Structure 1
């Protein structure tokens, strides 16, 4: 027996580095992470939320940061999310938060190594900011030496991760 499935009404969006979205629509968001971090926020009752893909923790820590887009820095991401949550008349503790990425995928040769571990800084920043804002962190998949392809289903709050390894 063959069963015809109804066409998928969910719009698929690719979040590139530095992009973010907060939506009421049943979208499916995709992104590919290395040392960057993605945070998903989902409100189970209202079925709304957002996702980001930030590259560095804090805009104030980097020179000439004014030329980067709003979602490039984690600090901007949190302002964006909190603004949208306030507009929706909701509270951070009503959301499920999940953290992904922060893989240590760039291995520099010894003379070029730096004391700054961007992946670890991104992870620590996400954890700290979520905790301080009052979000409930439901899950995280961070660190390691691999990249992640992340898919966030806004309609149900599910997040899927596919792994790739660095050689």
Structure 2
């Protein structure tokens, strides 16, 4: 698996035990992804970023990513080419990891979340809307069916994904007591703006 410069896309290493769900869990941050054959819950918190939960329902192999398209296309050349190429890369690294675990590309199903308009003061470009439009178009092009979607609106979300069953719980965060989510996404956005893709992802077939 190839990586982005600055290691912007990598497996989520943050394992913990979630007492509320009585479940082993992995928390992923912006730029991370995680795939598993085990009954491990995957958790993330989304503002303008988007997460795609992908799963082979028959084989019970699933994973989640957490990504953001570059929001300043003036520094990165063509807005469709560069932003789309980054988003495509973020999707392909997750798909590739699932296929390595034995999932079938033809058996993948998706649930998608995020794309909230939570970055105050940004009116010219709705980053969350661009992220949402990208992932909808990507999954349509790749013929991956979307079973559920919770996108846009004006609030962050906390997403809990159970790959073994395909269940997803979403908690909408209506009031923000700190700027942690926005700070993480802003830092992540700066990293991907200042980096470049290295190579391509080679996908396994069915």
Q: TM-score range by the shorter chain?
A: 0.7 to 0.9
- TM-superposed deviation, 1:115: 2.4
Structure-1 residue corresponding to 2:9: none
Structure 1: where are the runs of 5+ without partners? 1-7, 64-72
Which structure is higher in strand share?
Answer: 1
Select the residue among 144, 151, 154 that pairs with 1:145: 154
Structure-1 residue corresponding to 2:64: 51
Take 1:77 and 1:54, find their aligned partners in 2: how far apart are those partners?
7
CA contact (8 A) 2:35 2:63 kept: yes
Cα distance, 1:166–1:35 mapped onto 2, change above 3 Å: farther
Instruction: Output aligned runs, 1:10-89, within 5 Å.
Output: 10-56=23-69, 63=76, 73-87=86-100, 88=102
Structure 2: where are the runs of 5+ without partners? 1-21, 77-85, 177-206
- Provide, for residues 25-70 of structure 1, a one-character-per-residue CA deviation record: whole Å limited to 9, x for no partner: 2110110001000100111111101101102269x9863xxxxxxx
Select the residue among 81, 104, 108 that pairs with 1:90: 104
Take 2:163 and 2:99, find their aligned partners in 1: how far apart are those partners?
19
CA RMSD of aligned residues (A): 2.4
- TM-superposed deviation, 1:85: 4.5
Q: Residue 173 of structure 2: SS of its match in structure 1?
A: strand
CA contact (8 A) 2:56 2:62 kept: yes
Q: Residue 107 of structure 1: SS of its match in structure 2?
A: coil
CA contact (8 A) 2:49 2:128 kept: yes
Cα distance, 1:53–1:62 mapped onto 2, change above 3 Å: farther
Structure-1 residue corresponding to 2:127: 118
4+ residue segments displaced more than 4 Å: none
CA contact (8 A) 1:105 1:166 kept: no
